[in-house]
Every structure is written in C-alpha cells, then in structure tokens.
A and B are shown apart, each in its own frame.
Chain A
Amino acid sequence: MTLADVAIGTTVSVTDIVADEVLKQRLLDMGITDGAKITVRRFAPLGDPVEIVVRGCALVIRKEDATHIKVKQ
C-alpha cells in the first residue's frame, strides 16, 4: 500500500520510500523516514494534493509523490 491509498483520518507507518534521489532526500528531510507515523488529514477540494501530519507538522504532498511512499497500517 502507498500513502496515496490511505483513507482520511487513518494513521499509517512508513515502510519504504521508492523514489529518485531528489524526492527521497526531500521526503527524508521532512521527517518521512522508515517507521515514521503519518496521519492523512484531508484531501484538497479537487482531490489532490493531500494534507498529512508527520512528526506533529502539517505537510501538503501531491498524490503523485505520495505513491512513492510505501506504508502499512
């Protein structure tokens, strides 16, 4: 399962990031590391991007980028 498939209000934990160097480093820097807890808070009115909460901080990420983040419940 990837972060893009997670329903609103669900908290998941990161298992892997499958992305190119730039995106991966950016995600890691923002605290999306293996084992980090991510809560999906809401989708934008047009369905994309998605607002998530990582380490107490609200982030906005596009679904396209979210598909690179593998997660488990």
Chain B
Amino acid sequence: MTQAATNLRIALVGNPNSGKTTLFNALTGTHQFVGNWPGVTVEKKEGRLKGHQDHGGSGGSGAGNVTITDLPGIYSLSPYSPEEIVARDYLLNERPDVILNIVDGTNLERNLYLTTQLTELDIPVVVALNRMDVVERDGIVIDTALLAAELGCPVIEISALKQTGLDALTATLLETACVPHTPKPLQLHAPTGTAEDIAAARYAYIDALVDRCVAPAPTDRPSISERIDAIVTNRWLAFPIFAAVIFFIYFISITTVGALLQEWVADGLFGDEWGIPALAAHLLAALGVTTWLESLVVDGIIAGVGAVLEFVPQIFMLFVFLAFLESCGYMARVAFIMDRLFRRFGLSGKSCIPIMIGTGCSVPALMASRTIENESNRRMTVMTTSFMPCSAKLPVIALISGALFGGAWWVAPSAYFVGIAAIICSGIILKKTRLFSGDTTPFIMELPDYHLPTAKAILRSTWERGWSFVKRAGTIILLAAVAIWFGANFGFTEDGFGMVAMSESLLAMLGNALAWIFAPLGWGDWRATVATLTGLVAKENIVSTFGILFNFSEVAEDGVEVWGYVAANFTALSAYSFLVFNLLCAPCFAAIATIRREMSNAKWFWFTIGYQGAFAYAMALCVYQLGTLVSTGRFTLGTVAALALVAGFLYLLTRGTEELTGEHPQHHQHGSDELMRHDRAGDQPADSTTECRFQYENQCHACRHHNLMCPGLYSKGKRTAEDTGDDDGEPDER
C-alpha cells in the first residue's frame, strides 16, 4: 500500500488518567488544533506527528501528513457518556488507519479491558505501554513480547512523562500503517450472552493474560498515594486542608500577586498617563483624526477590551493552580470529599472549584467546569457559577455600601451570602425540573495515583485556556464594547444625529425607555438602568457610568465622589435591590460568551441567560417590596407580586421531582442509534473480505444474514431489521 505518501490518521485512545494528554503533547509538540466535537462539549484535539517526514520514503518531497486525533478518555466503548459516544462514532464511522491505544502499565487489568474491545474493531492497533518508569521502579516485570503475541498487536514500552520509547513508538505506528492490514485469526474475548457474561469473560481473559505476562512487585506495601490519601481525605482533616488550599490559591492569584499584576496592567498598560490609552490618544491626535474616531478607539475599544484584559494576570495565575490541582490528582479527591454536599443542589463535588474561582472571575470559573463529567451537573454549574460576586462586582458593592450604608461591615459579606443562597436555591429548584431530572449518569470516578506534573505540562494547559480567553476578549467583547460606546456617545440632537453627552445619548434614551421595568424594584431611574446596561461590558463599569452620568469625568474605584448623588437618588432599600439585581443578573460579556461556549448549545445558553435575569429580577423585587412593607407598612400591587413570588419560590423549593414523560431516558436512544451505526459499519463491503471478528463466526454470520445486531461488542441483544433501518449515514443531531 502507498498510504505513507497520503494522509494517515491515527486515533489516540485510552483510559482517563493513563497519560494520554502527555503522550499526545509529546508526539505532536506544538502542532495542535483544538476544537469541539460537533454538538457536544467534548474537546476535540488534533495534531501532526512530529518528525514523521523522516519516514515515508518518498525522498522528502511529498511525505504525507500524519494526523493524530486525541479521543476523549474512556473506559469502554459502551455508548453511555458523551465521551464514549464521540470516541465510538469516530472509530466506527471515520475508520482511522491506526488506533494508538495507550495503556497504563501500572494498572494493566482495567486498561486492557478497552484494548480487548479495540482489537475487535478490525482496525490495526498499536499498544503504548505507558508509565514503564514507575513499573520498573516498583519492581514489576511485564513480558511485553508475550503480551504483544497474545493481544495480536505491537506493544511498545514508553514513558510519556520521561519521553522514553517515543521513537520506537513512532516507527511502529508508521510501520503498522504502511503494512497492509491482514486480519488476524479470530480472537475470542467474550462469549455471547448478557452484559454480565461478556464483561466477566473479558475480565477473565485479561486476568489470565496478566497472570502470564506480569510478575508482580515483590512486596505489597501501601503506595505513596494511599498514604497521602489517608491524610488528605481524612475524616477530620479533609475539609481544613481543602479550605487551606482554596484560601492559598485565592490569596496568591486574586488578592496578592494577582492583584498586583492586575493593578500593573490596569494602571500601567491601560493607565491614563503612560499606558496604551494615552499613547493611542497622542498618536491619533498627532495623526489629526476626528474626535469621534479617537473616542471610538480610546474610550470604546481600548477601554472596553482593556477592562476585560485587566483580569488576564489573575486568570493566568488561577489557571496555573488549577492545572496543578488537576494534573496532580487532588481535584478527584475534592470531588470525593465534597460530593455529598453538592449533590443535594444538583451539582457535583467538582462544582466547588468553579464556585470558589468564581469569587475571582467567572470566566476561568466557567471554564473550570469542564472537569465535571456528568453533563447535567456541568450545566447546572455553568448556570449558577456567575452568581458568586466576582472581583469586578466588588467596586459596585463598595459604592452601594459606602453611599447608602455608611460603609456598614455587613454589606460585602451579605453579597457573598446572596450569591451562595442563589446557587443553592437555583440548584434545588432546577434539579427538580424535567431539564435536569433525566440524567441518570452514575457517579463512578477513579482516584488516580498522585504524581508531580511537569512545569511544561502546567504551563501548556494554562496557556491553552488563558489564550482562548484572550481571543474572546478580542472578538465578542470588542464588538460589545464598540456597541455600548456607540450607544453612550451618539444620539439625536436638534442638528440631527451625532455625538452627544451620555445623558442625551441613545443609551440614555434606552435607559428612559426601559426604566419602567425596574420601577417595581425601586430604581426606575434611567441612570441606574444605563449603569446596569454598561455593567454588561464589565461590572465595574457601573461605578464609572454613575460617575459620568453625575458629571464627574473621573471617579475613584469605589466611586466616592458620587456617593452623595447616589444617596440622593436611592433609598437604602432600592440601593440594595439594585445591588442584588446586578449581582445576580447576566454577568459581563466575557462571562456570557464563556457560558455560550461551555453550553455549546443555543437553547441552553438562552435558558441560562433568561433564568439568571428572571431570578435576579424576582429576588430584587422581593427585597424591595417586602422591605418596603416591613419598614413603612405600605401594601401595594408590588407587594402582592412579591408575596406571590415568595409563595411560588417556596413551592418550587419543596415540591417533588418532575418525572420524565418519555418512555426511555436519553441513553437508551443513544444506545440504539449506536447499534445501527455499528451494524452499518459491519455491513460495509470493505469488511466483506475479512472474517467477522466481533463474535463467534457462526453467530455473526447469522447476525448478518438476518440483519440482526451482532451482540458481542455491544451486548444489547438481538434487534430486528426495522430497528436498524437508519440508512442516512449522517451523524444524528443531538
């Protein structure tokens, strides 16, 4: 075959925590493309194999590309989680040239389970036996040659972390891809029968295999991980240690070092005297551009995007810690100790990480929610994380607290309390709706061994996440900033349309037009409405908008200059209602864009934004109306509405869970779709020359003959021809 000169596709498959990402990075270097698999929030990573041009034998002229696709970490090919479905779809429909199966040498039994399934797919498999350095250190001996002979595919010893054995692996991969694939004799890993029989048979086969190929370590003392866990997940110490870790991260990345860097960016890079805005202003003035263009660049684009980029240092610092916690294995322990607490609110143990980070900035917090496997828990986390007061909301809290509460000590803590209460209540309410009650994915999680990640791996992960944030600041946030700038600076005057003061601008018109909406909340003032709108660019804009609208060109961060005006325009109650609304409503554009990305589904995105807005409105209404009732005894229509809301709220909190109306949970639907596809794959003419290796030969012929599902790999029993009538060949739109 001449495949070496054409494009080769290698699929990297393996268990979670088997070192897959490390191997992928080692094999591809910087030649990577990150995206999402269509329709799901499972990350899709592809990369070019490094140094493959050396091979191929076409004189260096036209050596083809070797693309490696990093499939999600999976334990099996069962169609029950988005990751498994993505991996299966890819393997069955796209038919890569070679499967590179990474196997954790320190945990052969469980890892080989997936290998037995992969070797039945009739695609050449190369097994990379990872963590050989640890295996050797522990005194375990693996007979790789025997393992290879038994599995019927090459087995290469590597250490992805230490980067050993990679050359041999690359050579074997290319060799395997170049040699015409000859079907190996049928291997019987599993008999037919129920799911139990098949899994048991696979494991029995693996047990026997491991018995023959592996000489276990001479002594069986508790591992380092076990000893660390005895302390870290200890009944009494677990929570104090966790609190200390969170405090440490928060302290370093948000308050001390992070704040210092942020200040430097805000006052230095985007400062007024010597920063980019000043330089740009000077430059534009020197070029003699018109006022409006200068204003667009300086006040619109640079100020708007700068407001977001200010948080980049904090975000990067947070990502460094996050990457460390994730890759060292502590994050799984956090999920373990917190699960009980968070499960009650429809969240996962891992949700506490996003929520904690959310006190700094919602954007990295929302991105951190990716580590949550359960789709429903992850969505719930994305919906509720931005309720936590982030650092950009602190100036708003300071403004309200200073202007109307005399800087009372309880205002700031109460904002956090409101945020936490909003998360808990939303969790309880939403969990009971049909939207969230359908997901039955069980929570079964591996506790990987602790290991010290390399600095390179951490920096890489930090950079990937941080850069995607910066890119977003350059696109959607830029557009939003320009739109808000336009609204705030243009309006209709006697002379027609042109630049005006903010109080006569389009935004002010919009504020006036929308103010009535917020009247029941006690702040139907157009300035408050405009401030809320500009707060969507960045929450701290609320303070500077008040400054502009009350005719101050420049205000301190807590807006001390405008306190008197704010106090004159608000009452204590309406100010607190304003605060509550702005804490809970849709976050800033950066976070909104992140929600859109993390949901990767328009329906869920709009539901989230709508829910946040409605929840914020309801809470602010209750605060103002009930507060008015208590303090003045006035009973109005608004009071009735607030009381009705409270009653509805209590009902939603205490009612039973909505049952699904459909006959089957979603998973079953996936299951049958997957079966159809497998059936088609099995029927492709290309496979007709090969022996069916899915199952006992006669069994499988029978399957084909009657167009029945081959039960071996998927253990779903027989299906009739009508069930497998899907022939459009398209991935189903989920």
**Chain A residues proximal to chain B, CB less than 8 Å:** 17, 20-31, 33-36, 42-49, 51, 54-62, 65
Contacts and interface: CB of A to CB of B under 8 A. Distances in A.
A29 B337 contact: no
Contacts of A23: 440, 442
B443 A62 contact: yes
Contact of A26 (B235, B238, B343, B444): B444
A33 B715 CA distance: 14
B336 interface: yes
A55 B199 contact: no
A29 B440 contact: no
Interface stretch (B75-83, B405-413, B604-612): B75-83
A33 B203 contact: yes
B78 A46 contact: no
Contacts of B233: 42, 44-45, 51
Nearest to B108: A56
A26 B446 contact: no
A29 B199 contact: yes
Q: Which 5 A-B pairs have the closest CB atoms?
A: A28-B199, A29-B76, A46-B340, A58-B447, A33-B200
Interface string B654-695: 000000000001011001000000000000000000000000
B195 interface: yes
Of residues A22, A46, A49, which shows the largest number of chain B Cβ atoms within 10 Å of its Cβ?
A: A22
A31 B196 CA distance: 11
A57 to B, nearest CB: 5
B113 A59 contact: no
A60 B109 contact: no
Given A45-B233, A56-B107, A65-B442, A28 B336 contact: no
Given A22-B665, A48-B340, A33 B446 contact: no
Contacts of B239: 45
A31 B116 CA distance: 13
Contact of B78 (A25, A58, A59): A25
B339 A49 contact: yes
B668 A62 contact: no
A29 B113 contact: yes
Interface string B360-393: 0000000000000000000000000000000000
B110 interface: yes
Contacts of A49: 336, 339-340, 443
A34 B340 contact: no
Given A27-B444, A31-B203, A60 B335 contact: yes
Contacts of B235: 43, 45
B441 interface: yes
B629 interface: no
B287 interface: no
A62 B78 CA distance: 21
Interface string B313-339: 000000000000000000010011101
15 contacts: A21-B668, A24-B196, A25-B195, A28-B199, A30-B110, A33-B199, A34-B196, A44-B238, A45-B233, A45-B239, A49-B339, A54-B110, A60-B335, A62-B343, A62-B443
A59 B444 CA distance: 7
Nearest to B80: A22
B441 A22 contact: yes
A60 B441 contact: no
Contact of B336 (A21, A51, A57): A51
Nearest to B236: A45
A44 B349 CA distance: 11
B341 A29 contact: no
B455 interface: no
A57 B443 contact: no
Given A20-B440, A49-B339, A26 B80 contact: yes
A27 B75 CA distance: 11
B1 interface: no
B336 A24 contact: no
B668 A45 contact: no
Interface string B425-457: 000000000000000111111110000000000
A41 to B, nearest CB: 8
Nearest to B335: A60
Nearest to B104: A57
Contacts of A30: 75, 110, 444, 446
Contacts of B671: 21
A72 B107 CA distance: 25
Contacts of A54: 110
A30 to B, nearest CB: 6
A20 B335 CA distance: 24
A37 B354 CA distance: 36
Contacts of B234: 45
Given A21-B195, A49-B443, A58-B229, 11 more contacts: A26-B444, A29-B75, A29-B113, A31-B109, A31-B203, A45-B233, A55-B109, A58-B446, A60-B332, A65-B442, A65-B443
Contacts of A17: 196
Nearest to B445: A60
A7 B113 CA distance: 29
Interface in B137-187: none
Contacts of A29: 75-76, 78, 113, 199
